Amino acid sequence: MIALDHIAVWSENLYRTTIELSRLTGIGSADGGWFPGLGLGQKIISLGGGVYLEIESIVDHAMILERHPVALELERQTSAGDCFAGLCLRSDDLAEIESFARHRGVTLSSEIAGGKSLMVPGQKRGKAAHAPDFLNSWLIGKPNIYLVSDLASHSSVLEPQPGTGDVVGLGVTSLELGGSAEDLDDWLGALDPDELGVELRFNGLADGLYAVGFDSTAGPQEIRLSPITLPAAARL
């Protein structure tokens, strides 16, 4: 059964964006560590219900000098401001993800393209099977799916750092997506988007995520950002 897992936000300044989103929502943030092979650091803001925002920016600028494709793409995508980079789903059923990979014509992977492990202070993280790789889904505005069988070490349960916010997220209630319901059905194949348990609104614009609505101890809220720019996919 599929569920929402996390929403990636790309920023040119990890700290600025995290502080702004925490001020906007009142929800505190946690340190999510960094991807050594990608040069990206991340902060985590939990929206509740096992779903979190993964705010990423470049922290190792040698990746730009070395012209690493992910770092170059993040730099390009954020030149006009923060954006929703990716919508990530999860399943606790490996056979379900394998079936989805076959539907998409890709190989199930346990490696992050160009990235390898995520270094998280005080935690150990294993590799997660997923399909397609994020570069082959986010950059065309489509979700990918990760195998997550245990939420005990999930980023959504990281404790916010003191002083970053006191509001608690109570779960995502809606997503505004580009394209149409038929487009999403075609992408997911046999997987049922109704299992996500949220209202899906389609605006008919370019594929990607435009807004996420969620409930919180401060009441219903919405975060709205620009979606990722799709023509980038042709260059990777």
Q: Rounded to an integer, what distance in angstroms lies between the CA atom of residue 224 and that of residue 83? A: 9
Highest mean pLDDT among 95-109, 148-162, 215-229: 215-229
C-alpha torsion angle, residues 156, 70, 129, 211 (rounded to 10): 40
118 pLDDT higher than 70: no
Residue 122 pLDDT level (bands cut at 50, 70, 90): low
Q: Return the pLDDT at 126.
A: 52
- In the chain, which ranges are E strands? 2-10, 30-35, 40-48, 51-58, 83-91, 130-131, 144-147, 169-177, 199-202, 209-216, 221-224, 226-227
| Percentage, residues of the chain above pLDDT 70 | 90
Would you state the pLDDT for residue 65?
84
Cα separation of 147 and 158, whole Å?
19
Instruction: Please report which confidence band the pLDDT of residue 121 belongs to, taking 50, 70 and 90 as the band edges.
Output: low
What token pair was written down for 90? 């999860």
What is the band of 109 on the pLDDT scale with cuts at 50, 70, 90? confident
Contact in structure between 12 and 28 (CB atoms under 8 Å): no
pLDDT, tens digit, 9 for 90 and up, residues 87-101: 999 999 999 999 999
SS3 category, 19? helix
Q: Are 112 and 38 in contact (CB under 8 A)?
A: yes
In the prediction, which pLDDT does 99 show? 95
Give the residue-averaged pLDDT of 31-59.
94
Does 103 have pLDDT greater than 80?
Answer: yes
Report whether pLDDT(231) > 70. Answer: no
CA dihedral 122, 127, 129, 134 (to 10 degrees): 80
Q: How far is CA 230 from the centre of its chain?
A: 16
CATH number of the structural domain spanning residue 216 = 3.10.180.10
Inform me whether the pLDDT recorded for 233 exceeds 90: no
CA 27 to chain CA centroid, nearest Å: 17
**Secondary element (H or E) of residue 98:** helix 94-104
Amino acid at residue number 80: A
- Residues of 159-183 as b/e, b for ≥16 C-beta within 10 angstroms? ebeeebbebbbbebbebbbbbeeeb
**How many domains are contained in the chain?**
1
Q: Whole domain around residue 68: which residue ranges?
A: 2-235
Question: Which residues, 6 or more positions from 143, have their beta carbon under 8 angstroms from its beta carbon?
Answer: 86, 87, 88, 89, 137, 187, 188
Least confident of 32-46, 59-73, 85-99, 220-234: 220-234
216: β partners = 169
Would the pLDDT of 127 be above 80? Answer: no
Q: How much is the mean pLDDT over the chain?
A: 90
pLDDT tens-digit series, residues 61-73 = 888 888 888 889 9
Question: pLDDT over 90 for what percent of the chain?
Answer: 74
Instruction: Tell me which of 134-138, 191-195, 202-206 is least confident.
Output: 134-138
